[in-house]
Structure 1
Amino acid sequence: MAAVIYAVSQFRYSKHQISSNYFSFLRFSSEIFVSKFARPPLPHSIWSTPVILGGFRIRKAGNLLTGSMFSDTPIVNDIIATGFTGIVALSSLRLWQETAKHGIFDQKLNRKLMHISIGLIFMLCWPLFSPGRRGSYLAAVIPGLNIIKMVLVGSGICKDEATVKSMSRTGDYRELLKGPLYYATAITLASILYWRDSPLSISVICNLCAGDGLADVVGRRFGHKKLPYNLNKSVAGSLAMAAAGFVSCVVYMHYFSMFGYMEKSWEKVLGFLLVSSATALVESLPVSSELDDNLTVPLASILVGTLVF
């Protein structure tokens, strides 16, 4: 999906660039004509207005490169992007609900696979939105709706057995008011507060999804050697968390840099390494048995990330 989004963005950019270059040439030629024959010169503001040539409406070049994926009108683009992102997110949730329903994976593994994938897939869709804060707010609508769903189902107001089975550890619907609610809240706030031009949003989501999710998967399978200060956690799980969080952070740094949202740098790479190591350490502490990882990991990412970025 990332390749498709990038290919579409390049196609639209190329189209806009051609139009921009053509209009720049048209404007340059017209300015020469005006300077030679017009008395007095036409006001500069004329170039900020649309021009009708041969039945086609040509706009100012500066308005063409909007950075929008679906439409040159930002609000229309963001509405379409929100709908598309919602479809992608809903399809992902539905997939894991079906695998849980049919018992394709062990329930714990199914829950962690969903934990790993949902946030990362959501972040893949961020380039679909136009520049500006409106894009971040509309993108946050998708996990925000999931917050409402967790509250309604977790409090017993609504019943959704598929959601409970795919997201809870024991099948108790009240569990949705803890880990799953913290998870959706962290992703929503990362979108609203930091968005795609901040390494903090990458740190929060990647360490929460890839890092914390893979730690449990690896720890259960290869976690024979326990940590001396917490026998409920393993060396393999903690190392897997730090590695998965770090690698996914670097991958998303490169991904967003392709769209020009942030610059790649070794300083950011080092920062991601420090944040991922810190979150793995926090997750391994005994306090993680009292506080949910979906709460402590995002908080650790924000606190450490604020210091290093």
Structure 2
Amino acid sequence: MISSISSIHAFSPCFFRDPRFRLPESRLTASNSTLQSHSKHNNCFSNILPGRCSFNFTIRKVNDVNNRRMTSVVAAGPIFFPEYPIAGDVCAMAFSGCFALSILKVYEETARKGIFDQKLNRKLVHTTIGLAFMLCWPLFSSGHQGAFMAALIPGINIVKVLLVGLGILKDEAAVKSMSRDGDYRELIKGPLYYASTIALSSVIYWRTSPIAIAAICNLCAGDGLADIIGRRFGTKKIPYNKDKSFAGSIAMATAGFIVSVGYMHYFSMFGYVEESWQMIWGFLAVSIASALVESHPISTTFDDNLMVPLTSFLVLVGVRI
């Protein structure tokens, strides 16, 4: 037995594939004290096996798993005043709100001065605001309190959009930056769906769910880039919808997928999600499906700001990431 074991080199692929050297899954969820116990016994194995470093590799791998789990526990509090979660979330909400508002004010100023075409200015707002807001999610505490406090920011914007869209509040800069044709009544459609998607993603799914990542990234980056690229390079139109182009749909699927993977990596650094190939393939499926739905005439009828997030939800629920 000893001779057969020693015949397998520590660094050979056979060593990791051989079931005699594979730790059971229950061992991977063992406590750190158990891992230390295995580490002590490692010296005994080294007298028999030439592959002592392979056991060290296994121990390090299990420690990495436990460290990631510990990171998610440590990251439970808000960044500001972690000892006082409510005060910390209020500070996070103030910072996030000011950050998003400053970006919006910049685009309102560019719209007022006519620096960009109105449709381009609108899509720049569409692309950046939601993604910038999602960057601030790690500032909040985990759980319902942090999610609710974060959702108040797009919630306030929902109230503003409703007031302006119904004609109760006059805000020409907001109308120019968020409408297609300068009609204030447009705000109770696309912009309202946009803000509602971000608010609901925060409250219901929050930063631990790939559904929130996919819905916001495909709505913001995907749909935003589809219009920008499609208007400039979309000479080849899609047969079933002459208002959409192949260039725009390809740009939407590509941008939505890349940004989704980027935010997956971003949130994994804080321990909110665990990166996996299954999640990456799920994001790819969502981005392709969202691009197909956005290119269909049904999105023009019901507004793509509603159809794209709905598609993201249905696809990810179907693949069960």
TM range (shorter): 0.7 to 0.9
Cα drift, residue 66 of structure 1: 4.9
Whole-angstrom distance in 2 between the partners of 1:64 and 1:226: 51
The residue that corresponds to 1:113 in the other structure is 124
The residue that corresponds to 1:168 in the other structure is 179
Match of 2:317 among 285, 290, 306: 306
The residue that corresponds to 1:207 in the other structure is 218
Matched, 1:130 2:141: yes
Q: Deviations over 1:170-197 (max 9, x none)?
A: 1110000110001000110011110000
CA contact (8 A) 1:66 1:74 kept: no
Whole-angstrom distance in 1 between the partners of 2:292 and 2:179: 25
Q: Deviations over 1:150-180 (max 9, x none)?
A: 1100000110011001111111100001100
Cα drift, residue 68 of structure 1: 2.2
The residue that corresponds to 2:4 in the other structure is none
Whole-angstrom distance in 2 between the partners of 1:113 and 1:153: 20
Cα drift, residue 142 of structure 1: 0.3
Worse overlay, 281-290 or 245-254? 281-290
Whole-angstrom distance in 2 between the partners of 1:300 and 1:168: 23
Match of 1:69 among 71, 79, 87: 79
- CA, structure 1 residues 65+269, in 2 after alignment: closer, same or farther (shift >3 Å)? closer
1:201-280 mapped onto 2 (5 Å cutoff): 201-280=212-291
Whole-angstrom distance in 1 between the partners of 2:300 and 2:76: 47
Over aligned residues, Cα RMSD in angstroms? Answer: 1.2
Aligned length: 247
Whole-angstrom distance in 1 between the partners of 2:259 and 2:195: 19
The residue that corresponds to 1:159 in the other structure is 170
The residue that corresponds to 2:208 in the other structure is 197
CA contact (8 A) 1:207 1:297 kept: yes
Tell me, which stretches of 5 or more residues in structure 2 are unaligned? 1-72
Whole-angstrom distance in 2 between the partners of 1:65 and 1:288: 39
Cα drift, residue 67 of structure 1: 3.1
Cα drift, residue 289 of structure 1: 2.0
Match of 1:290, SS state, is: helix
Whole-angstrom distance in 2 between the partners of 1:115 and 1:268: 25
Q: Deviations over 1:254-300 (max 9, x none)?
A: 00000000000111000000001000000011112211110110111
The residue that corresponds to 1:141 in the other structure is 152
Whole-angstrom distance in 2 between the partners of 1:93 and 1:135: 23
CA contact (8 A) 1:278 1:300 kept: yes
Cα drift, residue 65 of structure 1: 7.0
Tell me, which stretches of 5 or more residues in structure 1 are unaligned? 1-62
Q: Deviations over 1:220-267 (max 9, x none)?
A: 000000111111110000000000000000000000000000000111
Whole-angstrom distance in 2 between the partners of 1:119 and 1:270: 23
CA contact (8 A) 2:286 2:315 kept: yes
The two structures have a TM-score, normalised by structure 1, of 0.78
Whole-angstrom distance in 1 between the partners of 2:78 and 2:119: 39
The two structures have a TM-score, normalised by structure 2, of 0.75
The residue that corresponds to 1:85 in the other structure is 96
Whole-angstrom distance in 2 between the partners of 1:92 and 1:293: 23
Whole-angstrom distance in 1 between the partners of 2:259 and 2:104: 21
Whole-angstrom distance in 1 between the partners of 2:250 and 2:74: 47
